[in-house]
Chains A and B, each alone.
Chain A
Amino acid sequence: MSAGPQEAHAAAKPQPIIELRDAGVYFHLHRRSKINLRQAILRRQWISQHEVLWALRHVTFELYDGQVLGMIGPNGAGKSTLCLVLSQILQPDEGQVTVRGKVSQLVSLGTGFNSDLSGRANVRLCAAYLGIPRKEVDARIDEIIAFSELGDFIDEPMRHYSSGMRARLGFAVASSLDPEILILDEVFSVGDARFRRKSVRRIEAMMARCRLIAVVSHSSELLRRIATHCLWLEGGHLLRFGKAAEVLDEYDEAMGGTVDPDLEPDPA
């Protein structure tokens, strides 16, 4: 999905950085009718029918330089699928997606670790998965290790790490990326309260360097604060797309309240 040749003469109007045209992604459901041998012979129905679920359909929007997109919607609305499409992990089954720039999603790298190897070796491995060139890794590795606060543990095999230590190292690597377009699926913070504050500051610094940010969140509080635009997904369809405040007002009204359940004061 790189830039096409037809762009040259469109210089007058600013180019959208992300452009979705009628994009759709479907998944096969494995809920299928059981076929037994007798039926297969009598009805000549050999191949079982898959049910198709459109996780996204007819999604069209454009985003420009400097915008921050908030993505809201109930569970299963297609937000994470949209993140996969934006980060070009998943290609759409219909329609077109154009992304101009280096995209990265801030992910937990837990599954990328090799438990037999030291934390240091795993930093290199995970950085390679993320596409950070080896020279840059060499230059940044001390900073990454310092941020993870693992100390001498960095040269221990990772199977001796606690889950918090794994998460901290994963975050330290993932957040050392320098993307032009940053995707955050749910607000992302790890470790204890102090490390959490530190990681939020790091995400904010990362966001400040980006040209475009897309954030998934259930908290309209947060999105009101940081997003310029919002899209509201429901059942794979784009219900609303526009200025953050307008979309969020409508969304809050539909959901019946603006209070974040996490922030709601305890009745006791």
Chain B
Amino acid sequence: MTSTFANLVARRDLLWEITLSELRSSAQETRFGWLWWMIDPMVTMMIYWVVVVGIFGRGGQYAPYPIFILCALLSFKHFSGSTNASCKLLRRRGGLIKSVPFPTVVLPLSVVLSEFAFFLFGTLALLGAAWLWGRPITAALTQLPALMAAQLLFVTGVNLGIAAVGALVRDLSGFMSHFMRIFFYMCPTLYGVDMVAERFTKGALFQGSALAELVPTLYMLNPLAILFTGYRDAIFYGRFLEPQHWAVLTLESTAVFLVGYRIFLYFDRRVIKFL
């Protein structure tokens, strides 16, 4: 059964059941249960808080720093968590794919959706914490659903591509952890995009050259950079993301989704022979 959209709609029960069972099994048989969904991002946040604020004495312009980085960390975790899982996903499920006909696209989709549930849960906690820390509740929060939709589209696209290629190229999962680490620092998770602009226009790097203007613009082509900025605008600063960023984000996440889905469909029929 190929992973066409029609087949996916016909088997939406399956997508729901797999996602639900992933969520259930993540909370089953642990002392903290679903609290783990919150503990993970909180511990990560705490580590960076101690290192950046406590030890390096930085991040003063981004106070309260925990809220500032959580706006990006949760989103990044959705991206990295699902992408890491997707690398080996089809190979791990090879036995099932070779014995039962179902649209294999439900496997990466269920990973993205269950990670998204964790993300939603974390975001609720973040909103609570932001309110306690005295961040303003403004109309800017209405941007959240659109940001999440764009994130879902982008992460799904990446995961479909990675899942298909990962089934054929075994080396991919080895590269992935390194790539994720590099990408984490390339994204504005621990710092704001204003710092990138500042470094390039006022700092020593490329001073006065055309590159000084170009690099910050190029930097903002990364959809995650726009997303993180968007979450910060909505939750941390209480302002609206600039329209050109909305345009780029919509365009890019749609394109990534379509390309990822095409890649998955292209390899869909072949993948089974490599499992």
Residues of A within 8 A of B (CB): 27-28, 84, 87-91, 103, 105, 107-112, 114, 116-117, 121-122, 124-125, 128-131, 133-134, 157
Across-interface contacts of B101 in A (CB, < 8 A): 87-89, 103, 131
In the complex, are the beta carbons of B28 and A131 less than 8 A apart? no
How far is A103 from B272 in the complex, measured between Cα atoms in Å? 19
Across-interface contacts of A89 in B (CB, < 8 A): 1, 97-101, 272
In the complex, are the beta carbons of B98 and A84 less than 8 A apart? yes
B171 on the A face (CB < 8 A): no
B237 on the A face (CB < 8 A): no
Q: Chain A: interface secondary structure?
A: mixed
In the complex, are the beta carbons of A114 and B25 less than 8 A apart? yes
Taken residue by residue from 1 to 19, chain B's Cβ proximity to chain A (1 for < 8 Å, 0 otherwise) reads as: 1100000000101101110
B21 on the A face (CB < 8 A): yes
In the complex, are the beta carbons of A125 and B269 less than 8 A apart? no
B262 on the A face (CB < 8 A): no
B102 on the A face (CB < 8 A): yes
Across-interface contacts of B16 in A (CB, < 8 A): 128
With both chains docked as a complex, state the minimum distance between the C-beta of A81 and any C-beta of chain B, in angstroms. 10
In the complex, are the beta carbons of B25 and A117 less than 8 A apart? yes
Instruction: Tell me how many residue pairs across A and B have CB atoms closer than 8 Å.
Output: 71
With both chains docked as a complex, state the minimum distance between the C-beta of A186 and any C-beta of chain B, in angstroms. 13
How far is A82 from B13 in the complex, measured between Cα atoms in Å? 28
With both chains docked as a complex, state the minimum distance between the C-beta of B33 and any C-beta of chain A, in angstroms. 12
In the complex, are the beta carbons of A131 and B98 less than 8 A apart? no
B194 on the A face (CB < 8 A): no
With both chains docked as a complex, state the minimum distance between the C-beta of A160 and any C-beta of chain B, in angstroms. 11
With both chains docked as a complex, state the minimum distance between the C-beta of A178 and any C-beta of chain B, in angstroms. 15
Contact of B21 (CB < 8 Å), options: A28, A111, A114, A133 = A114
With both chains docked as a complex, state the minimum distance between the C-beta of B4 and any C-beta of chain A, in angstroms. 12
Known contacts A89-B99, A117-B28, A157-B29: A128-B18 contact under CB 8 Å: yes
B39 on the A face (CB < 8 A): no
Query: In this complex, which of A27, A103, A128, A133 has the most chain B Cβ atoms within 10 angstroms of its Cβ?
Result: A128
Instruction: List 12 additional A-B contacts (Cβ < 8 Å) besides A128-B14, A130-B100.
Output: A108-B99, A114-B22, A114-B25, A116-B28, A121-B24, A125-B18, A125-B21, A129-B100, A131-B14, A131-B102, A133-B13, A157-B28
Interface residues of B in 249-275 (CB under 8 A from A): 269, 272-274
Across-interface contacts of B95 in A (CB, < 8 A): 110-111
B96 on the A face (CB < 8 A): yes
Contact of A105 (CB < 8 Å), options: B96, B99, B273, B274 = B99
In the complex, are the beta carbons of B269 and A111 less than 8 A apart? no
Across-interface contacts of A131 in B (CB, < 8 A): 11, 14, 101-102
With both chains docked as a complex, state the minimum distance between the C-beta of B103 and any C-beta of chain A, in angstroms. 10
In the complex, are the beta carbons of B272 and A90 less than 8 A apart? yes
Across-interface contacts of B58 in A (CB, < 8 A): none
In the complex, are the beta carbons of A107 and B99 less than 8 A apart? yes
How far is A245 from B178 in the complex, measured between Cα atoms in Å? 62
B199 on the A face (CB < 8 A): no
How far is A217 from B81 in the complex, measured between Cα atoms in Å? 44
Across-interface contacts of A109 in B (CB, < 8 A): 99-100
How far is A230 from B99 in the complex, measured between Cα atoms in Å? 23
Look across to chain A and name the residue whose beta carbon is closest to the beta carbon of B14.
A128
Across-interface contacts of A108 in B (CB, < 8 A): 99
In the complex, are the beta carbons of B273 and A27 less than 8 A apart? yes
B202 on the A face (CB < 8 A): no
Look across to chain A and name the residue whose beta carbon is closest to the beta carbon of B22.
A114
How far is A112 from B95 in the complex, measured between Cα atoms in Å? 8
In the complex, are the beta carbons of A88 and B1 less than 8 A apart? yes
In the complex, are the beta carbons of B273 and A112 less than 8 A apart? no
In the complex, are the beta carbons of A91 and B14 less than 8 A apart? no
Across-interface contacts of A129 in B (CB, < 8 A): 14, 96, 100, 102
Look across to chain A and name the residue whose beta carbon is closest to the beta carbon of B25.
A116
Across-interface contacts of B272 in A (CB, < 8 A): 84, 89-90
Contact of A112 (CB < 8 Å), options: B1, B22, B96 = B96
In the complex, are the beta carbons of B18 and A117 less than 8 A apart? no
Look across to chain B and name the residue whose beta carbon is closest to the beta carbon of A112.
B96
6 intermolecular pairs with C-beta atoms under 8 Å apart? A89-B98, A122-B21, A128-B11, A129-B96, A129-B102, A133-B13
